[in-house]
Amino acid sequence: MPAHPTIVAGLARAFSMSLFLFNKPFHVLCQFTDEAGRPTLADYLDVPNVYPAGRLDFDSEGLVLLTDDGPLKTRIAHPRHGVGKTYLAQVEGTLTDEAIARLVQGVSLKDGPAAALSAKSVTEPAWLWARQPPIRQRKHIPTSWLEMELDEGRNRQVRRMTAAVGFPTLRLIRTRIGTLGLGGLSPGAYRELGQDEIRRAFAEGPRSRRRPPGDNRR
């Protein structure tokens, strides 16, 4: 789906907004304050007037984009703009081709059907950092790694989808939003994008990868 004309016009007219990549650690809230005293973005980012474009669960890790520009925030986060989010999930059990196919075909969740843009079994990447604390694994039960892309971000959606096909998620890392990846950022680190990088990433809206109703091509 093309980007909203107002957003494109604003981007073309002047790139004066800020956009940051942040690698959110495990057990950090994706907000700047917390009355309960839990770790927040403020413990890692000393940047005024920026807000996360979308959320990432407290017990999930990985890429968060933060901006001071409202239209750009909407452009990144709202499902109607079709910006894909890619996740790496460590799941309990040995993944099957049937389960992976079901994730793409769609599963039923309490808040409606959900389908991945893509899903595939992968090996644990060499670049991945060790989580602290490590996941709790059950003795004699193997784990598998899954890469999955979504174009929406409902609450705990990846975890609910893998559970629906019989493979509970043990660890979840968001690795990419649109064309932007972690780029070697360590947990807790952040980087500001240049204006040319913002333009390349978001000045032109991606076309939707969803098939139209009735299109059953494989």
Residue-wise pLDDT for 112-132, tens only, equals 999 999 999 999 999 999 999
Q: Which pLDDT belongs to residue 11?
A: 47
- The contacts found for 160-166 with CB under 8 angstroms, 24 or more apart, are 160/109, 160/110, 160/114, 161/103, 161/107, 161/109, 161/114, 161/116, 162/89, 162/91, 162/103, 164/102, 164/107, 164/108, 164/109, 165/99, 165/102, 165/103, 165/107, 166/93, 166/99
Q: For residue 215, what pLDDT band results from cuts at 50, 70 and 90? A: very low
Sequence ranges of the chain with CATH classification 3.30.70.580:
1-82+184-204
Sequence ranges of the chain with CATH classification 3.30.70.1560:
84-177
Q: Which pLDDT belongs to residue 80?
A: 85
Q: Which pLDDT belongs to residue 208?
A: 45
Q: Which pLDDT belongs to residue 136?
A: 85
Assess whether 57 carries a catalytic annotation.
yes
pLDDT in tens, 75-106: 999 888 889 999 999 999 999 999 999 999 99
Q: Which pLDDT belongs to residue 49?
A: 93
| Interatomic CA distance for residues 77 and 177, integer angstroms | 9
Q: Which pLDDT belongs to residue 44?
A: 97
Q: Is the pLDDT of residue 142 over 90?
A: yes
Least confident interval from 14-23, 34-43, 106-115: 14-23
CATH number among 2.60.120.10, 3.30.1130.10, 1.10.760.10, 3.30.70.1560, domain 84-177: 3.30.70.1560
In the predicted model, what is the mean pLDDT of residues 123-144?
91
pLDDT in tens, 52-70: 999 999 999 999 999 999 9
| Interatomic CA distance for residues 103 and 100, integer angstroms | 5
- The percent of residues above 70 in pLDDT, for the chain, comes to 86
- The percent of residues above 90 in pLDDT, for the chain, comes to 74
Least confident interval from 23-27, 39-43, 147-151, 213-217: 213-217
CATH number among 3.30.70.580, 3.20.20.70, 3.40.390.30, 3.30.200.210, domain 1-82+184-204: 3.30.70.580
Q: Which of 34, 43, 46, 57 is catalytic?
A: 57
Q: Is residue 82 within 8 Å of residue 205, measured between CB atoms?
A: yes
Q: For residue 138, what pLDDT band results from cuts at 50, 70 and 90? A: confident
Q: Is the pLDDT of residue 217 over 50?
A: no
Q: For residue 17, what pLDDT band results from cuts at 50, 70 and 90? A: confident
Q: For residue 212, what pLDDT band results from cuts at 50, 70 and 90? A: very low
